[in-house]
Amino acid sequence: MWPYALLLPDPKDGWVWATRSLLGLPHLVRVLVTLHRAGIREIILPPDSAALRHWFASCHIRPDVPVVRWWDEADWPDGSAASPILGICGGILFTPQLLVWFHEALAGAAMGKALRHAQETMPVLVSFTPEVLHQHEPQAWTCTYLASCIAAPTISLPSDVFCHTVQELEQPGRDRAFLSTVGKPTDRWHVEWVRRWTFPALRWLARVGVKPNHITGVGCGVALVACWCIAQGEYWAGIWGALLLYASWVLDCMDGTLARLTLAESAFGQKLDTLLGHLSNLCIFAALIWAVYGEEPVWKGAVMALFILGGIVAAQRLSAIGKKIHRQRGSSHPSRLHAFLEKINHRDYAVLIFVLAVVKGFHIFLWLSLVGIQVYWVLQLWLVRRRTRTAAQT
């Protein structure tokens, strides 16, 4: 899209917004990480940003940000260069999707400007050619001034693109707007409800510096304690185990949400969450089998464990293979069956286990799971084979 981006001061607050924090992360760091994820390689700060030099020198800057240069250090292209430059209004927090949308809206044009709302006059994004900078003094650069220097259409942002001012998000309760950036297409209504309900706790955890991986580990520990309670085979122990299992599921929702809110996603965190999630899943079913068949002949529990736990392992392995093939093919439109299997592949049965614990119905859950797991891994196997044949043909 744009190799260079020019970050400009807020028209009202200058650079005051840059070093203030929201959810444990300075605003400027949020902007820099977002630009890096959108493909920006180099950020230029204008001459009037000299006050930020001390801040950059005194704090640890994350590695996942673009190269930051000041105007006097930048190796700018000359006015004949073809690549446009992106001007960004300071004091605005956004997601990488904003830049993707702006690039698509320009439809190949080098110059253009975007407003948050049609009634506003100050643009939040301006795309212009290098010659515009060479024709005007750096001291005059603002988003509004640069937008007035180019003859280009003005575009209004769609309502579903996250783009808020720092002043808006710093108002009491308004930082909840960040929750609109952390969801996934497979999320269900109760997952979104848990995010809203736990947001005050997430806000506090972010401010005190708790890492998402810490929550992942605690959630796994709570799940293992829940398994121990359920495995006792006693009524009230099963109730407490089901409640702890629900608590572990809430923590499982919180770790990913905190990672996205604080821009702390990592490959290690994803692998850890997946590994501990699979471990907890196997332990939960093992505990349920022991609770139901612990006093029965050994062969009954062994057969149930073979089919249920073996089916879970097979389903997880086939799901991983299917995702790998899907990534290798580079397809962005999964089949309906794949989307359906991904939608039901969640460990969100804690409420059902609690209900069955109240009515002493763990055996019902095991038999339903026995049938469902076998159908699931067979469908995954069929899907993997179909993808493998399609890949071989292409």
Q: CA geometry: angle at 210 spanning 344 and 29, to 5°? A: 95
CATH for 145: 3.90.550.10
Report the pLDDT value the prediction gives residue 288, as an integer from 0 to 100. Answer: 94
What is the DSSP-derived secondary structure letter of residue 62?
A: P
- Strands of the sheet containing 4-8, edge to edge, are 67-70, 42-45, 4-8, 85-89, 125-128, 112-115, 154-156
Cα–Cα distance, 211 to 67 (Å, whole number): 26
Q: Are residues 162 and 193 in the same domain?
A: no
Number of domains in the chain: 2
| Domain boundaries, position 104 | 4-167
The answer to whether position 174 is within a domain reads no
Q: Is residue 83 part of a domain?
A: yes
Residues 54 and 200 in one domain: no
Do 302 and 198 belong to one domain? yes
| Residues of the chain predicted below pLDDT 50 | 79-80
Q: Which residue has the tokens 């309906």?
A: 336
117 and 230 inside one domain:
no
The answer to whether residues 239 and 358 belong to one domain is yes
Question: What confidence score (pLDDT) does residue 3 get?
Answer: 83
Check whether residue 240 and residue 120 sit in a common domain. no
Q: With the C-alpha atoms ordered 365, 370, 375, 377, is the resulting torsion angle positive or negative?
A: positive
Q: What is the pLDDT of residues 312-348, one digit of tens each?
A: 888 888 888 877 776 666 555 556 666 666 666 655 6
Same domain for 225 and 134, yes or no, is no
Whether 269 and 148 map to the same domain: the answer is: no
Domain boundary among 132, 167, 202: 167
Whether residue 136 lies inside any domain: the answer is yes
- Residue 175 located in a structural domain: no
**Do 203 and 350 belong together in one domain?**
yes
- 177 in a domain, yes or no? no
